[in-house]
């Protein structure tokens, strides 16, 4: 069994069942609608102070929208957002320079261990949104479907997905005519990004990126690069989609059915590169969160907070998941 198949089976076993529970509690008519079971946010009194967020670039826009909505309720509150990659969140939480650490991937065990070594307990996370990590091409690109092994052959030099041939031209992926001999120009994120790590794990079966991948500092930069480079391909959160690019439907294996990066496909576990977007924070077990952070968490997991998720192009968290995370934070 190839390493790719092993990694994908692990993904299906642990990630897909979690994502799939969402489709049970959100109307299938419009899966991107905010769950009516989520609470409306009710303003509390005496909330003031400052917050700082350090972490994922993917979550920059969403953190900004949450901040704007939260500050409409609390005009005196100041919130600073710094997004340079998910890898910057754990050190900031450990050092105490950040109150929140947005991450587009789960914390690695070594990161949790370093936090626990200092504080004596692990950091807490809430799931703020669901993302489909999309593969983008130029809007004029006619490619209709790619399998994960093909995606691996485009981005990875180790090809753990199982293909025995490198994909360097669009003809290698089945396109003819003027596209057949055109080299594939490949864009991706830098190693500090959680998106980089997640794509490496799921799409590349933990293989190594090609040296030719043009690393970009942010998710929007990847999409902008693909939009201006006709023969290019790149990966980024689906929330960064623009009119100048297309998302390519993906199948989990060669010859399998392809699914686009839509809300319904992410909720049902059909789209193979779906993930939660997290916000980590420091909460001592048995002790309540301070009021300011507690109210921000409640806002994110409210009707208003999840409407911001939809506005930013991601998929909202259902009430069942929100209830779990609120309870874990002592905010039931």
236-286 pLDDT per residue, tens: 999 899 999 999 999 999 999 999 999 889 888 899 999 999 999 999 999
CA dihedral 80, 84, 88, 93 (to 10 degrees): 10
Q: Which helix (H) or strand (E) holds 234?
A: strand 232-237
Average the pLDDT over 306-324 and give the result: 94
- CA atoms within a 13 Å half-sphere pointing along the CA-CB vector of 190: 13
**pTM for this one?**
0.79
Do 163 and 186 lie in one domain? The reply is: yes
Do 63 and 169 lie in one domain? The reply is: no
pLDDT at 291 over 60: yes
pLDDT at 9 over 90: no
Do 139 and 262 lie in one domain? The reply is: yes
Residue given tokens 């998910």 in the structure block: 86
Task: Provide the domain limits for residue 11.
Answer: 3-130+276-328
- Of the residues 253, 274, 295, which one is the last residue of a structural domain? 274
Do 263 and 298 lie in one domain? The reply is: no
- CATH code, domain with 150: 3.40.190.10
Q: Number of structural domains, the chain?
A: 2
Do 92 and 162 lie in one domain? The reply is: no
> How large a percentage of the chain has pLDDT more than 70?
91
For strand 124-138 and strand 274-281, is the pairing parallel, antiparallel, or unpaired? antiparallel
Do 181 and 239 lie in one domain? The reply is: yes
- Of the residues 252, 274, 296, which one is the last residue of a structural domain? 274
Q: Which alpha helices (DSSP H) does 88-234 contain, by range?
A: 89-95, 109-119, 148-155, 194-202, 219-227
Do 270 and 309 lie in one domain? The reply is: no
Average the pLDDT over 69-90 and give the result: 96
Render pLDDT for 182-216 as a digit per residue (tens, 0 to 9): 999 999 999 989 999 999 999 999 999 999 999 99
Render pLDDT for 11-49 as a digit per residue (tens, 0 to 9): 444 344 444 444 433 333 234 789 999 999 999 999 999
């Amino acid at each position: 069994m190839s390493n790719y198949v092993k990694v994908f089976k692990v993904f299906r076993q642990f990630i897909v069942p979690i994502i799939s529970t969402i489709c049970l509690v959100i109307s299938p008519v419009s899966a991107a609608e905010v769950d009516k079971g989520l609470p409306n946010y009710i303003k509390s009194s005496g909330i003031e102070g400052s917050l700082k967020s350090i972490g994922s670039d993917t979550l920059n826009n969403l953190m900004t929208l949450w901040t704007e909505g939260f500050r409409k309720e609390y005009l005196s509150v100041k919130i600073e957002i710094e997004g340079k990659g998910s890898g910057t969140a754990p050190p900031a939480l450990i050092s105490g320079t950040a109150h929140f650490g947005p991450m587009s991937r789960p914390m690695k065990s070594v990161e949790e261990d370093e936090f626990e070594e200092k504080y004596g307990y692990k950091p807490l996370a809430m799931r703020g949104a669901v993302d489909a990590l999309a593969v983008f091409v130029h809007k004029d690109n006619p490619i209709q479907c790619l399998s994960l092994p093909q995606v691996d052959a485009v981005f990875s030099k180790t090809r753990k997905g199982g293909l025995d041939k490198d994909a360097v031209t669009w003809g290698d992926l089945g396109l003819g005519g003027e596209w057949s001999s055109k080299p594939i120009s490949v864009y991706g994120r830098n190693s500090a990004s959680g998106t980089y790590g997640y794509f490496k794990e799921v799409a590349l079966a933990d293989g190594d990126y090609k040296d030719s991948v043009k690393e970009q500092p942010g998710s929007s930069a990847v999409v902008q690069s693909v939009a201006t480079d006709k023969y290019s391909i790149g990966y980024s959160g689906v929330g960064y989609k623009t009119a100048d690019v297309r998302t390519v439907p993906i199948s989990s294996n060669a010859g399998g059915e392809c699914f686009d990066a839509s809300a319904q496909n992410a909720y049902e576990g059909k789209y193979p590169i779906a993930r939660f977007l997290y916000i980590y924070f420091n909460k001592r077990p048995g002790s309540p969160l301070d009021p300011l952070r507690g109210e921000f968490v409640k806002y994110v997991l409210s009707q208003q907070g999840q409407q911001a998720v939809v506005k930013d192009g991601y998929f909202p968290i259902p009430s069942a998941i929100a209830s779990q995370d609120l309870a874990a934070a002592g905010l039931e």
